[in-house]
A = this chain, B = another copy of it.
């Protein structure tokens, strides 16, 4: 295993320490237990937004803590759900009294642990609710999931719900907006190579020199099928078509097209995928009115990419465009 790490057991802690030092203007890092909160604490009167999940998907979620997005993020061990005793203090830290919305990717461990934590903070008097992100069209159930997995579409949920909370929407309204994004966002990914979990020390799966995994999960869990290595245009179509069909996109509809890197793929290749995905959408009569290209929901050093499409309307466009100031997303 070749990584820029010290003791693999310390990887998450040391990453958080570095992250906190580099972004002290935006976040406060808590190490016992691990969570990251917006500097200055909960904003009076504002609904708090919290997300979390296994580490290894950086910048998700800590990179999205800041103005206009998350109030707190809870990183578990690598590819492992955070525990309720990590999640609960993060929820409490995010609650100014206006309530908290937890954005949870649909993995069994995350769902259970967030549920327990929500019960804990409700017992302490917080108004807390959650929304499940399940945008991955690749598989219906998987190694870690009942139902669809939550993947890169989570960024859109966090950005748009974050903007709604920032403008002063109440907990019901922010939850409704988050639900609207979940209902209109779909993703699918491909892996060209596997990745190595630091404390495991060996590749999470094997992929032949000439094959790719279509519909890969963000933990390297199996997708739809293995396919021979094909051109970027062909692979893009294998990802985009199921996404567009699942959304039943019609002529004249507007979308956000988000090409996400899995961590080890150069951005030049992501733009090649973006180019083809955009053409395929335009051939369907769909208008790409917003775009995002880069590493936002990664799987350590995995090579590959995912395509996320979000159906937009005026409300979602306005909230997407609203100012955001976090380590990983800023405008």
Interface residues of A (CB under 8 A from B): 2-7, 11-12, 14-19, 21-23, 55-56, 58-59, 63, 190, 192-193, 209, 212, 229, 231-233, 235, 263-275, 278, 288, 291, 293, 295, 298, 300-301, 303-305, 330-331
CB contacts (< 8 Å) of A15 on chain B: these are 268-269, 271-272
Q: Identify which of B6, B18, B269, B278 contacts A5 (C-beta below 8 A).
A: B269
Q: Identify which of B2, B6, B229, B264 contacts A272 (C-beta below 8 A).
A: B6
B22 touches A58 (CB 8 A): no
Work out how many copies of this chain go into the complex: 2
Task: Please name 12 further chain A to chain B contacts, defined as beta carbons within 8 Å, in addition to the given A18-B271, A18-B272, sorted by A numbering.
Answer: A2-B193, A2-B209, A3-B192, A3-B269, A7-B231, A14-B272, A15-B271, A16-B271, A18-B273, A18-B275, A58-B266, A268-B300
Asked if A4 meets B269 with Cβ closer than 8 Å, knowing A22-B291, A22-B293, A293-B22, the reply is: yes
Q: Identify which of B6, B264, B274, B301 contacts A22 (C-beta below 8 A).
A: B274
Per the bound structure, the CA–CA distance linking A275 and B273 in Å amounts to 34
A264 touches B330 (CB 8 A): no
- 9 A-B pairs with CB atoms under 8 Å apart are A4-B190, A4-B270, A4-B305, A12-B268, A14-B271, A21-B274, A21-B288, A56-B266, A267-B295
B2 touches A192 (CB 8 A): yes
Per the bound structure, the CA–CA distance linking A263 and B263 in Å amounts to 8
A18 touches B305 (CB 8 A): no
CB contacts (< 8 Å) of A59 on chain B: these are 267
Per the bound structure, the CA–CA distance linking A11 and B269 in Å amounts to 8
Per the bound structure, the CA–CA distance linking A261 and B16 in Å amounts to 17
A4 touches B192 (CB 8 A): yes
B274 touches A6 (CB 8 A): no
Q: Identify which of B2, B3, B6, B274 contacts A233 (C-beta below 8 A).
A: B6
Per the bound structure, the CA–CA distance linking A263 and B192 in Å amounts to 15
Whole-angstrom distance between the Cβ of A255 and the nearest chain B Cβ: 13
CB contacts (< 8 Å) of A233 on chain B: these are 6
Per the bound structure, the CA–CA distance linking A70 and B263 in Å amounts to 27
A275 touches B21 (CB 8 A): yes
